[in-house]
Structure formats: structure tokens, C-alpha cells
């Protein structure tokens, strides 16, 4: 359940990035592509923080947390990559 909630947080963060590009930027497709591009490293850091909490606070090993980290990072990042590709054309 925690994994789904964290991935949901990733999607919420992606929406925040896209909305910020609409309101702060010029609202063009290129602005949406740029927001999706900037989301990916920000989400990598966020997913890494989640992994660090799992290792340090919850006591899991890195080997146990790494597959979960990859799943948590990859699902929203793939969606952002698709949006980057779609709007960046």
C-alpha cells in the first residue's frame, strides 16, 4: 500500500509541474515538455529519499529496497517521458 501511495505522490508532483508550466510559463506545448523533463530528476531525488527512509528508518537492506525504488521511480517517470516526447515535438 505504501508503494502505491508514494507512486501516487509522484503523479501528484507531475501534475504540479505541469500546472506550474501552464501558469508560470507561456502555456505552450513546449512548456509542458520542459516541465515533464524537469520532473524526472526531481522525482528521482524524491524516490531516492523514500528509499533512504526505507533503508535507514525501516531497516530494510539496499538490496530489498532497490526493486521497490525502481518501480516507484519508473512508473511516473515513464509517464513523464511520454509527455515530454508527445509535447516536445
State the SS3 of 7-66: HHHHHHHHHHHHHHHHHCCCCCHHHHHHHHHHHHHHHHHHHHHHHHHHHHCCCCCHHHHH
pLDDT at 25: 81
- Binned at pLDDT 50, 70 and 90, residue 63 comes out as very high
* pLDDT > 70 in the chain, percent: 100
pLDDT at 30: 93
Amino acid at each position: 500500500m505504501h508503494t502505491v501511495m508514494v507512486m501516487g505522490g509522484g503523479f501528484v508532483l507531475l501534475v504540479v509541474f505541469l500546472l506550474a508550466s501552464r501558469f508560470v510559463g507561456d502555456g505552450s506545448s513546449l512548456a509542458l515538455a520542459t516541465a515533464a523533463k524537469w520532473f524526472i530528476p526531481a522525482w528521482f531525488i524524491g524516490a531516492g529519499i523514500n528509499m533512504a527512509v526505507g533503508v535507514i528508518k525501516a531497516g530494510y537492506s539496499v538490496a530489498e529496497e532497490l526493486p521497490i525504488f525502481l518501480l516507484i521511480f519508473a512508473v511516473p517517470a515513464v509517464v513523464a517521458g511520454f509527455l515530454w516526447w508527445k509535447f516536445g515535438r
